[in-house]
Amino acid sequence: MSNVSVGIHSRGGLFRGRVGAETFWCSLVLAVVGFFVLYPIVLIVVNSFQVAKPGMPPLYGLEGWRAVLAEPGLRRAVYNTFSLMIVRQLISFPFAIFIAWLLARTDLPGKSLLEFMFWLSFFLPSLSVTLGWILILDPDYGIANQIWKALTGAAHGPFSIYSFWGIVWAHIGHNTTAVKVMLLTPAFRNMDASLEEASEVAGSSTLGTLVRILIPIMTPIFTVILLIAIINGFQAFEIEMILGAPINFHVYSTKVYQLVQQEPPAFGPATALSTAVLLILLPLIAVQRKLTARRQYTTITGRYRAKAIPLGNWKNPALAFVTLIALLISVAPMAFVLMGTFMSLFGFFDIPHAWTTDNWKRVFDDPIFMLSLKNTLLMSLGAAALAVSLFSIIAYISVRTKFVWRSALDFISWFPSAMPGILMGIGLLWLFLDIPLFRALYGSVWLLIIATVISSITLGTQLIKANLLQLGQELEEASRTTGASWLTTFRRIVGPLLFPVLLLVGVLGFIHAARDISNVALLATSSSRTLALLQLDFMVSGRYESAAVVATIVMLLTTGVALIARFLGLRVGIRA
């Protein structure tokens, strides 16, 4: 896709460009993206009215919708979804903003390392981390409760991971905070120091500046992250499943899963439920767009100045605070994960031969390990590259051009994340099987790349978009007037200025592809299987320890990619 536009714009070397060229290429991008996103989703929505049994000719009706409304416990599940979501965001958002600000704007010592610890936290495999927290916080045998009992002599410890607050903690202690810090730090870093200086000259304290100037000016990125958090709140699933099911605590996503797991799978009601959620999310997306369209949010202007705020006496407390949180959400869980890979049975310390390397051996000895590793690398790197180029084109069109349908393009980029992964995977399967062009590639790594990129389109596109909104347009115009073509400008000016966020999007694309199960399970064949499926294999066999080994390998791969990315990021980008 990126290649296509390369072709166009370099041909713009003609003396006179026709007025319609921009519209043509933008329309082409819209058509391609729209097709890949809407085709599966329209099929999913249509399917919600499909009531025929498998193998029978299609029959349409409202049964699926009726079944959803009659689904026991649905209202409770929706309520649970919202309360979890709200509580999680209320806790994690202020923390994340504060930490990101400390990391990006102040002279906090070791901030580069600390920031990377939050990245690591995001790379950690969900399941292993959750099992780790169970080991510590289980109401009966959890280590924290054992210690409490030993200290106080009480019969019961105070903690229970199998609870509403347990689920909240498992989320906050894993991804919820980490991902926000990850996304916010580059945005804070791109802020012109003169904005802060102006506020401080006007008599505001440093914290006051954060609250009154920086936060309002970062509205686009905040609303994007908030909306994505809301959407993810609908999709979050693994933790709720492990910790919620035993206490009969259900959420929307576990309901969808439950419907699809029935025999025969209740695709009708599942798709109806997802369609309903999509309809709830659409107005939210529209509101987000309205909020950010109204004002100017440029923070990198042509007279950009960078300066770190001295923390003074607050340096040590701030360092202690960020380090504590980083340890809690990255080092501690990483210790569980690594420990788990070397235990005979995770969490059983008092059995003979509690420690072993068998789990690693089992993985390395698996006949499909090397192939899966190779496929994972190929697919994830491909997905990262495609994600970065496609998402920057989409973001650029929707922010910078006057293309009439630019908001439509932006709007549809939200859709894939509003669909549960299982259903989106099925929709993409249909797409690839229906179009003869793709049938030739069916089962290959290339379709897996396309599928994972489509399903990760929202976060990547919105992230680049929010950062592009921060970038003053005159920086590009200055390049054009000195004689650079659009493409040269993109390569020399926009690209380098967005480099940190492009790397972040690449890393996210990589990990998303490496971890993807719902698409890969439906589209891979034995020759294109990835590590995520190998991990699933071990899970199904109950070999959680070996599954953790595979997850650790995926994490190490991602960490390696991220380290290279960060190293590169230090050479390009704004010079302070």
> Is the CB of 35 or the CB of 442 nearer to other proteins?
442
> Is the CB of 327 or the CB of 496 nearer to other proteins?
496
Q: Which two three-digit tokens encode residue 495? A: 């690209």
* Closest among 549, 522, 521, 531 to 376, alpha carbons compared: 531
At its nearest, how many Å lie between other proteins and the CB of residue 362? Answer: 8
At its nearest, how many Å lie between other proteins and the CB of residue 500? Answer: 10
> Is the CB of 271 or the CB of 330 nearer to other proteins?
271
At its nearest, how many Å lie between other proteins and the CB of residue 264? Answer: 5
At its nearest, how many Å lie between other proteins and the CB of residue 475? Answer: 5
H helical segments located in 294-420: 315-326, 332-341, 358-365, 369-400, 406-412, 415-418
> Is the CB of 313 or the CB of 526 nearer to other proteins?
526
Q: Which helix (H) or strand (E) holds 532?
A: helix 531-540
At its nearest, how many Å lie between other proteins and the CB of residue 216? Answer: 20
Q: Which two three-digit tokens encode residue 71? A: 């689904």
The Cα-based distances of 568 to 74, 178, 183, 500, 561 in angstroms read 48, 22, 18, 9, 11
Please report where in the chains the tokens 């650079």 appear, as a residue.
Answer: 484
Does 264 sit behind a cis peptide bond, omega within 30 degrees of 0 on the bond before it? yes
Please report where in the chains the tokens 């009659």 appear, as a residue.
Answer: 70
At its nearest, how many Å lie between other proteins and the CB of residue 23? Answer: 12
> Is the CB of 152 or the CB of 527 nearer to other proteins?
527
At its nearest, how many Å lie between other proteins and the CB of residue 419? Answer: 16
At its nearest, how many Å lie between other proteins and the CB of residue 228? Answer: 27
Which DSSP symbol is given to 346?
T
At its nearest, how many Å lie between other proteins and the CB of residue 232? Answer: 21
Total number of residues shown for the chain? 576
> Is the CB of 414 or the CB of 432 nearer to other proteins?
432
Cα 59 from chain centroid? 37
> Is the CB of 318 or the CB of 502 nearer to other proteins?
502
Determine how many CB atoms are found less than 10 A away from the CB of residue 16. Answer: 5
> Is the CB of 22 or the CB of 318 nearer to other proteins?
22
Residue ranges of E strands in 104-238: none
SS3 assignment, position 117: helix
Q: Are 134 and 50 in contact (CB under 8 A)?
A: no
Determine how many CB atoms are found less than 10 A away from the CB of residue 218. Answer: 24
Give buried/exposed letters for 90-123 (b at 16+ CB in 10 A, else e). ebbbebbbbbbbbbbbbebeebeebbbbbbbbbb
At its nearest, how many Å lie between other proteins and the CB of residue 572? Answer: 7
Gyration radius of the chain's alpha carbons = 24
Cα 205 from chain centroid? 34
Q: Provide the CB-side half-sphere exposure for 284 (13 A, CA).
A: 17
SS3 assignment, position 9: helix
> Is the CB of 313 or the CB of 481 nearer to other proteins?
481
At its nearest, how many Å lie between other proteins and the CB of residue 33? Answer: 23
At its nearest, how many Å lie between other proteins and the CB of residue 305? Answer: 5
> Is the CB of 60 or the CB of 205 nearer to other proteins?
60
* Closest among 257, 265, 260, 266 to 238, alpha carbons compared: 257
Beta-carbon contacts of 460 under 8 Å, excluding residues fewer than 6 positions away, are 387, 388, 391, 505, 508, 509
Q: Which two three-digit tokens encode residue 486? A: 């659009």
> Is the CB of 49 or the CB of 118 nearer to other proteins?
49
Q: Which two three-digit tokens encode residue 295? A: 């004002």
Amino acid at 469: L
State how far the Cα of 569 lies from the Cα of 532, in Å rounded to an integer. 28
> Is the CB of 133 or the CB of 414 nearer to other proteins?
133
Amino acid at 184: L
> Is the CB of 113 or the CB of 370 nearer to other proteins?
370
At its nearest, how many Å lie between other proteins and the CB of residue 372? Answer: 11
